[in-house]
């Protein structure tokens, strides 16, 4: 049974960066305004994320890492109305099957923090022979999740992830993208033992400031912005916000950030459509920066698609993509006069 769980967990947690993505989404769901990440050996030895969000109630700790434990669904029909990132309650459970997981958390109303350790979905003692009961400890409001020895029990997976600097680069990439999308939240990331962070953003930035800080002045100075949306009966059916570079900006490789309902996703169809817009504008071999955030009725997104499928699909995808691309095209043409 534990082998099956381990395999299932590997479908959700592919590598340190995918664990980080889940943890980031949990912290953002919890309303965090500051998120600190600490990494050792590309996240394989240690991946720790500290937030100042709402915390987890002590009474919820025993079942936290059980599959389908989620505070984000109260009834089955809620599935169709989800607006938060998480909905399956599988992330922490999965992580506990392929790593040593521990949690320190405190809600505003709790007198102190509590620390709990998990393995294979269940509470376990910190040391053999001790009780598995979460222990009171000192701690600020919020949650710190610590993942150690990721994939220690799946040697094949582990040996496929030998390049720790590549894993660290992926962690920084995910973090950078979430920092753009959540410009008001402050993020930092550092290697364990290092005093200077490799990524650090202040709180309360604008999207434009965040892009400048994380992707550089050369992008920011050629950055255009568009808001494209569709409304019916006085209410918005969908809306999108795009930051994209003008014809003056020419990178070697396209930087494309796509968020749908605030979740970082991939869509080769949307990417290709945007590449097409630029292929008529940029010289051969030149590529743009594009950050696109789409908000749609959660009922129209295929949220229940298996987590291994990175590609997202949603209703009216083609029409929405066309409208966004038309708007980009017009703005870029306008900007080059």
- The bridge status of strand 135-137 relative to strand 122-124 is unpaired
Stretch that binds ligand ADP, among 12-20, 51-59, 225-233, 283-291 (CB under 6 A): 51-59
Binding to ligand ADP by residue 288, rule CB under 6 A? Answer: no
From residue 111 to residue 150, the character string flagging contacts with ligand ADP as x (rule: CB under 6 A) and all else as - is --------------------------------x-------
- For Mg ion, which residue has the nearest CB? 86
Distance between CA 120 and CA 98 in Å, rounded? 8
> How many CB atoms within 10 Å of residue 4?
9
Binding to ligand ADP by residue 22, rule CB under 6 A? Answer: yes
Binding to ligand ADP by residue 106, rule CB under 6 A? Answer: no
Residues 6+ apart with CB under 8 A from 97: 2, 5, 6, 8, 9, 120, 121
Nearer to Mg ion, 107 or 323 (CB): 107
DSSP H helical segments within 83-162, as ranges? 91-98, 155-159
The nearest distance, CB 37 to ligand ADP, in angstroms, is 12
Binding to Mg ion by residue 86, rule CB under 5 A? Answer: yes
- For ligand ADP, which residue has the nearest CB? 86
Q: Which helix (H) or strand (E) holds 319?
A: helix 317-335
Binding to ligand ADP by residue 54, rule CB under 6 A? Answer: yes
Nearer to ligand ADP, 10 or 86 (CB): 86
Nearer to ligand ADP, 22 or 41 (CB): 22
Binding to ligand ADP by residue 56, rule CB under 6 A? Answer: yes
Stretch that binds ligand ADP, among 63-71, 127-135, 152-160, 197-205 (CB under 6 A): 63-71
In the 8-state DSSP scheme, what is residue 42? G
Binding to ligand ADP by residue 51, rule CB under 6 A? Answer: yes
Burial of 117 (0-12, 13-18, 19+ CB in 10 A): buried
Binding to Mg ion by residue 16, rule CB under 5 A? Answer: no
Binders of ligand ADP in range 26-45 (CB under 6 A) = 26-27, 30
């Amino acid at each position: 049974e534990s082998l099956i769980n381990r395999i299932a967990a590997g479908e959700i947690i592919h590598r340190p960066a995918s664990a980080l993505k889940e943890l980031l989404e949990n912290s953002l769901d919890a309303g965090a305004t500051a998120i600190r990440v600490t990494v050792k050996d590309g996240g394989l030895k240690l991946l720790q994320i500290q937030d100042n969000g709402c915390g987890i109630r002590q009474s919820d700790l025993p079942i936290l890492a059980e599959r389908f434990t989620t505070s984000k669904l109260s009834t089955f029909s809620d599935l169709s109305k989800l607006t938060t990132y998480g909905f399956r309650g599988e992330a922490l459970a999965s992580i506990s099957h392929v790593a040593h997981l521990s949690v320190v958390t405190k809600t505003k109303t709790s007198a102190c923090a509590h620390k709990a350790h998990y393995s294979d979905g269940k509470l376990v003692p910190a040391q053999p022979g001790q009780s598995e009961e979460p222990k009171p400890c000192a701690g600020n409001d919020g949650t710190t999740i610590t993942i150690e020895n990721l994939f220690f029990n799946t040697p094949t997976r582990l040996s496929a992830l030998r390049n720790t600097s590549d894993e660290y680069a992926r962690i920084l990439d995910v973090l950078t993208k979430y920092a753009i999308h959540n410009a008001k939240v402050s993020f930092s990331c550092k290697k364990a033992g290092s005093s200077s962070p490799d990524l650090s953003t202040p709180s309360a930035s604008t999207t434009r400031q965040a892009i400048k800080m994380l992707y550089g002045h050369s992008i920011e100075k050629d950055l255009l912005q568009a808001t494209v949306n569709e409304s019916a009966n006085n209410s918005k059916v969908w809306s999108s916000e795009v930051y994209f570079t003008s014809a003056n900006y020419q990178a070697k490789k396209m930087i494309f950030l796509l968020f749908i309902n605030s979740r970082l996703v991939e869509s080769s169809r949307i990417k290709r459509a945007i590449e097409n817009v630029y292929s008529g504008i940029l010289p051969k071999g030149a590529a743009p920066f594009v950050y696109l955030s789409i908000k749609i009725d959660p009922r129209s997104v295929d949220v229940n698609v298996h987590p291994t499928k990175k590609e997202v699909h949603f209703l009216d995808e083609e029409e929405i993509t066309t409208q966004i691309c038309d708007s980009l095209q017009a703005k870029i043409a306008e900007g080059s006069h």
